[in-house]
Structure 1
């Protein structure tokens, strides 16, 4: 069956020895990319990106089956079963995220219903994601990303490459771009058109900005973007909770899941009320699908961290898989009167000597604040979720204490 038509391939999968750690790494990277691509497909009205989601979803199905086979072969005694049960939960959760992403992509590809003016209502801060096929005669072909220096020159990033059926999920400086590669580019709309034309030989035409036909559609899109960002954060925190065997991070995953549930409930109520005034109420059906799929992703994050919450020892294979990430995520509770209390955060970077980047703040009286692209002031009592190196994280933690 053709995955581009939304069907799952039923090609047989035979057991073969695999490195479970490597499979878990690929599943983690694939799940994170799927979330990004699926929402971008909807928000940018891109059928091409939606089709890449379905291709990637099919790849995840194969990875899940191989991971299950590998885990079954690894069980030798009851202790193995106890430690590997949470790993099986992580595998299932990654597949749940994949399925949810596929459902989101089908909102674009199938006649489910979505307001035509979604792109018009996008916040200006949301970057554009574009899919293009690298022209063999492009000046980028057969050169490494370090040689091209694309991000420094233009602000546009290559977030993934597909070469036939092979995916390069984390292209780095040494990755070489080849002719006929399918490239997924993310960056500011003002620059991405020129990069896309240079890479593919074809000009990029952004979706037509129609006048919104649904009142207050901007608020709905803002809510979708916020729910998507919170769900992505929940997945990041869940993997970090497993890596550090941190019950505190796992509890923050629970807090995020509660917030996403509340947003989804309010968003659903708004959609039903808006249907009464919309020229075509059926066009709002896709919004309900988006809300439901987002809740599935946040629920999957809970499943990833379940072993930590149940105080089951983390199996070494999971820690090795998560350690593949270059950065770590930490949770710091700011004490009143500490060095961090009152510090400004500008574009996610706190006014300190550390190199940590604050990606979210949870305030007891205000809930979650995502600060990656905004300014804020740290207050005593804030819980900061930050990214950085282990050394920087240790210094940052010391600053949170009086």
Structure 2
């Protein structure tokens, strides 16, 4: 059976050149980047070059890139360390109800410590506004954390406008860009972003490596305690092969490539809807259904079709999609994103699935998927 992978918002296959770069580093460059001998200097050279490549991709300084184990660590560091180190200035934080669990669970932890969290409610497109942030800001607000783009419905927030609102306040502005990095052109200076989280495995890079951008003008303690790596901002020996692989993945996503992929993915979304319409299947799209979105993510509502049954049937037929965030979909719990958008009583909560496209997908793939969905829906409703 030929399997078709359409769960790229969960993770992406590593690009061939990324694998080649990592293999070369693992085979030939085993030194510790903190060591001063020849082998350490060789590793440090790769580390520095990779940091420069990645910094340029978001218009940051090399010194503002801190390598981490991935998006979760980056998010936790930004949220928890900002709160604990700035609590004398205030204990109020602003975020949204549709953040990834890597933000929401640290927020819940901080609430248990006495911090007050304001959770902004999104509209039915899955977006919040700069006006909502402005109205929620207080003198004791120390952090605003708003995701760049949503991993379940593909909605995007007006990060530059929010940055304009926050920049003159007492708060630091953090954005979880794990799903948007590699899809959108991000400029941390123009968008007034103080901290930004990413993960390499969302852009055809390796797992267990990411970075946290931290503006040079702000200072937060290291979340991981230990050695003085990453200029004392993240303890632990740097994973040079993975970092080199991350930099190679970044090199592959020049602005022209990002624009081409977004246009192609939008076409895939339209093609799925076209096929389902032709097949006379009732459906809806949760979140943005226009090009002003992360177009590699499509959240499809199929009234009356249990997502667990649909996912199982599709998997048996060779199609990989998901019920929502890969971090919670294993249990098929109700999506907190869809609940925030539509309310906990909406049928969309249980009858929706996520399709997410990647660089290797073709129009033939999505047509096959749409026709198979139509076949299964007819089978389940007849």
Tell me the TM-score range normalised by the shorter chain. under 0.3
With normalisation by structure 2, the TM-score equals 0.26
The structure whose RCO (Cα within 8 Å, separation 6+) is larger is: 2
With normalisation by structure 1, the TM-score equals 0.25
Q: Which has the higher helix share?
A: 1
